[in-house]
Amino acid sequence: MTNSVMESTAQTAVASRQRFTLVEVIGRGGMGEVWKAWDGELEMEVALKSLRPTVARDPNVLARFRREARIARRIKHVNVAQMYDLVELDGVRYLSMEFVEGKTLKEIVAAKRSVPVHVALGFMRQICSGVQAAHDAEVIHRDLKPHNIMVTRRHGRICVLDFGIAREVGSDDLTEVGVILGSPQYLSYEQLCGREATPLSDIYQLGILLYELVTGISPFRAPGVSASTLRAMREVPPDPRQHEPRLPTFLADAIVRCLSKYPEDRFASASALWAHLDGHRVELEAEAPIVETLDVDSASLTLGGAPTALVAVASEQERKLVADRLTRLGCVVTEHADGQRAVEAAWGARFSLVVLSAGLPTVDGLTACQILRRSPLASTVPIVVVLDPAEGRDAFAREAGASSIIHAPVNVHALAKTVREILAG
């Protein structure tokens, strides 16, 4: 190694060490550890996923690690954990990604055994939305399982994690022939057979995930990995109603269809799966709300539907820009061009966040912010205020109760970062 390369490597390590402060280990796996850390450059908490030095010496593993950073950054959706950077710290390689605080679906199922159908449907709405966003970016996850799905504590946002073995549609796989990556209990039939994974392989895994949510067990449960794998390869999955007789027919049929050993018989996409589930929800005898508060290991989680956003921006062009970006991120958006109507909407429904701008007719956005802060229903809702920087009203907006300030003209990347930070809790 030349002196210039050695100096460059040393400088990178020093810069990384200065940038990140490791706080605590929040997870461990076969590839390494996951740390909660403070990113001094981004000025936010992040998760750092390490790669063990012994594993990093394998060129194929290191190539997959680099690819995870590259392809996952293409997915811009609130139901997919955002990837930031690939860094090296004290000789250890890390993936820097969005820190998501909450409970995994595995923890929830372990604590509850199974979840009510309407809660499972609320989960699936967001999971399907995130997986579809990945597929639209031509990324296959290949390891969807309850361990890799996080639910945030406050907003009940689903976050799909761990694209460590993801691959691009149509790309050359870096895995050796005959080597199976992923958790055997959750792999699709074709993956277990050593064949190439496709987006339909993720649909199979969504079927296993849904099966476990509503029954509390995996469809091919058996003592030992080998026995479980053989069951998945040789047997037709048992009808989930054998474990939960009260499951509605449309849900049981959807699970069985996802778990077909013939990919062409499954739902054509994650969005098609959700369209089927959502279209039949009315068949529930006593349809419960899709949002519910659930206590898991002394932690209260708000579970259910997608994050909701109220957007009231004076400029129609900017209002549409903000609404479009939030929709792309996975939020359900309500728009208003009038401050009074925005206040009334926030009084009548619980939103995950509110975006207001100054200059709204009837009630100014900053006045609306003050009114909402005095409202019992909206007092704790995060409020993003859009301001013209030339007016110098940032301090007043803070006093009015703004959680965050974005300057006009709105930068969609800054908006996305702000929204993610709000929904991370």
Active site residues: 143
Listed in sequence order, the residues at least 6 apart from 387 whose beta carbon sits closer than 8 Å to its beta carbon are 357, 358, 393, 394, 397, 405, 406, 407, 408
* Residue 138 tokens, joined: 């031509």
What are the CA-CA distances from residue 281 to residues 38, 117, 291 (Å)? Answer: 42, 10, 14
d(CA 409, CA 187): 46
> ω before 263 within 30° of 0 (cis)?
no
Residue with tokens 């390494």: 32
> Strand, coil or helix: what is 87?
strand
Residue with tokens 């969807």: 144
Note whether 20 and 45 are within 8 A (CB): no
Listed in sequence order, the residues at least 6 apart from 360 whose beta carbon sits closer than 8 Å to its beta carbon are 312, 313, 314, 337, 338, 339, 342, 368
Tell me which residue of 102, 97, 157 sits closest to 129, measured CA to CA. 157
Listed in sequence order, the residues at least 6 apart from 358 whose beta carbon sits closer than 8 Å to its beta carbon are 314, 364, 365, 366, 385, 386, 387, 388, 391, 393
Dihedral sign (CA 126, 251, 240, 243): positive
* Residue 107 tokens, joined: 């923890």
Note whether 336 and 329 are within 8 A (CB): no
Residue with tokens 């009074």: 340
Tell me which residue of 91, 94, 111, 115 sits closest to 46, measured CA to CA. 94
Taking the CB of residue 235, how many other CB atoms lie within 10 A of it? 12
Burial track 296-306 (b if 16+ CB lie within 10 A, e otherwise): beeeebbbbbb
